[in-house]
Amino acid sequence: MAHLDARGMIAAVLDPDSFVPWDEPPTLEGLSPQYAAALEQAARRSGADEAVVTGEGTVLGHPVAVVVGEFGFLAGSIGVAAAERIVRAFTRATERGLPMLAAPASGGTRMQEGTRAFVQMVTVTDAVQRHKDAKLPYFVYLRHPTTGGVFASWGSMGHVTVAEPGAMIGFLGPRVYEALHGEPFARGVQTAENLHRHGVIDAVVAPAHVRRRVATLLDIVAKPSGSAALQSQRSPAAAPSAVDDWEIVRRSRLASRAGLRTLLRRGSSATIPLSGSGRGDADPTLSLSLASFGGRGVVVLGQDRRSQSGDVALGPKALRVAGRGIRLAHELGMPIVAVIDTPGAALTKDAEEGGLAPEIGRTMAALIGARVPVVSVLLGQGTGGGAIALLPADRVIATENSWLAPLPPEGASAIVHRSTAHAADIAREQRIASWHLLEDGIVDEVVPEPDDSPSEVCDRVAEAIVRALRALESVPLADLLADRGTRFAATSACRRNDRDAVSPRP
């Protein structure tokens, strides 16, 4: 399979005739004659003067900076000159407020320069982090091959990281492993597809589709305009005269109910699914994505009800994926939308040994301290620690047929009565249904569910999300942080209940 060189990659991703190079010719002064000759020969063979090419251009009209690896130049290895070129590119992009697209293809550190080249990983990492600290998007496309110090530094720091199909990606090259250990490295480990399955990278994408993926990311992270925001004329819903909590529980469990996937499909104008924690944790029960609601880019942490069935339950890996999403929201300055719909967290040996309880606490703490607006959506079942992990928020929206409780009613009945026969009574006594949560100040708005239409429900939820995001835009961050962790305190709930028992708050 033929792989694109740096020029081919630039042509495949950037708009025609938009690329403007930033590079200056490197100097050969102070190098040994043998090494200088090797560099000159590499330049003749590859058509590039170093192992990276940098510059700027546009992707479907979006201005971007680029750093693209040239594997044909000494296997894309990074020496001091190449590292300095990368640092200059990130620094310039940061100063000009440009998103960065990196497309490495490299065997790692340049062995001809040894430790001097090796320590440049630190300098490059610092430049990348400064770019991210400026809340500028960083998209990484890992090409075949990307290994060693390149993968361990600027190749693994993207907000979104995808890879070329079949690309070899890893830290230690298999040839080095075999030389050191006297046996071949396990086959199939250092592949784009395997790393995607394990939640290290977000997707496997052919070069022809990278342009659209980058443009979608930039569409999502763009600041909203007033005209793009979703306008809603719906009036606040009135509570029904009677609420049967057990009937709400029953309805929340129907297979026909709207779920996370329908909400994203109906409510988001653009979505980029992400995979895993980026640290080797992948869990299908929690979906992480970047999405646009009413022209507002958000990070979505969503519990996928369809993926929680049988022996598959939400575990500690899912919450580590949520942790990545919270960090991502902070880095990009984007609000968080957390979608709760879970029959409960895993009750297994692996979950306990994997640190489920500490992960619940860490996730709550991270949401409480998130320095961006947070909206939680109770979409269906809200059982136990799996639900409360995503509850801390500035606004909590609930669908009419949703509920929140420390255990499913059957479990609570088993504790109190040593039998599940009293589940319905327990549900009613605990007042776990959405309308009762609104009366008790736990929920800010209840979204009606007319005619059991999943599409209509999701449309209404999306409108509620946009209303909440719009309202939070004008609230100082200090006020959000001060109120978020204490909003469920008993005294706070009483004050909210007195002020506004059944209508959504602005």
Tens-digit pLDDT profile for residues 138-170 = 999 999 999 999 999 999 999 999 999 999 999
Here the tokens at position 175 are 């040839």
Domain boundaries along the sequence of the chain: 6-220, 228-499
- Total residue length of the chain: 506
Contacts of 27 (CB under 8 A, 6+ apart): 81
Give the pLDDT score at 227.
43
CATH level 3 topology of 6-220: 2-enoyl-CoA Hydratase; Chain A, domain 1 (3.90.226)
Residue pair 190/169 in contact (Cβ under 8 Å)? The answer is yes
Please provide the DSSP assignment of 19-75 as one string: -EE---PPP-TTS-HHHHHHHHHHHHHHS-SSSEEEEEEEETTEEEEEEEE-TTTGG
Give the pLDDT score at 452.
65
Residue pair 368/350 in contact (Cβ under 8 Å)? The answer is no
Please give the share of the chain, as a percent, with pLDDT higher than 90: 79
Q: What superfamily in CATH does domain 228-499 come from?
A: 2-enoyl-CoA Hydratase; Chain A, domain 1 (3.90.226.10)
Residue pair 401/434 in contact (Cβ under 8 Å)? The answer is yes
Interatomic CA distance for residues 139 and 67, integer angstroms: 11
Strands (E), 348-441: 374-382, 395-399
Handedness of CA 168, 172, 178, 182 (dihedral sign): negative
Residue 175 pLDDT grade (very low, low, confident, very high; cuts 50, 70, 90):
confident
Give the pLDDT score at 224.
67
Give the pLDDT score at 503.
40
- Share the mean pLDDT of the chain: 91
pLDDT digits (tens, 9 = 90+) for 299-339: 999 998 888 877 888 999 999 999 999 999 999 999 999 99
**Helix or strand run (H / E) with residue 205:** none
Give the pLDDT score at 180.
84
Give the pLDDT score at 502.
39
Contacts of 398 (CB under 8 A, 6+ apart): 377, 378, 404, 434, 437, 438, 443, 445, 446, 447
- Tell me if domain 6-220 and domain 228-499 are identical in fold: yes
Residue 499 pLDDT grade (very low, low, confident, very high; cuts 50, 70, 90):
very low
The mean pLDDT of 422-426, rounded to a whole number, is: 96
Residue 283 pLDDT grade (very low, low, confident, very high; cuts 50, 70, 90):
confident
For 478-487, give one letter per residue: b (16+ CB within 10 A) or e.
Answer: eebeeebeeb
Q: Residue with structure tokens 């602005």?
A: 506
- Among 62-66, 221-225, 301-305, name the most confident range: 62-66
pLDDT digits (tens, 9 = 90+) for 86-109: 999 999 999 999 999 999 999 999
pLDDT digits (tens, 9 = 90+) for 369-418: 999 999 999 999 999 999 999 999 999 999 999 999 999 999 999 999 99
Please name the amino acid found at residue 18. Answer: S
Q: How many CA atoms lie within 13 A of 205 on its CB side?
A: 25
Interatomic CA distance for residues 126 and 305, integer angstroms: 40
For 35-58, give one letter per residue: b (16+ CB within 10 A) or e.
Answer: eeeebeebbeebebbbbbbbbbbb
Residue 492 pLDDT grade (very low, low, confident, very high; cuts 50, 70, 90):
low
pLDDT digits (tens, 9 = 90+) for 3-40: 999 999 999 999 999 999 999 999 888 899 999 999 99
Give the pLDDT score at 236.
62
Give the pLDDT score at 416.
95
* 62-69/52-59 β-pairing: antiparallel
Give the pLDDT score at 495.
43
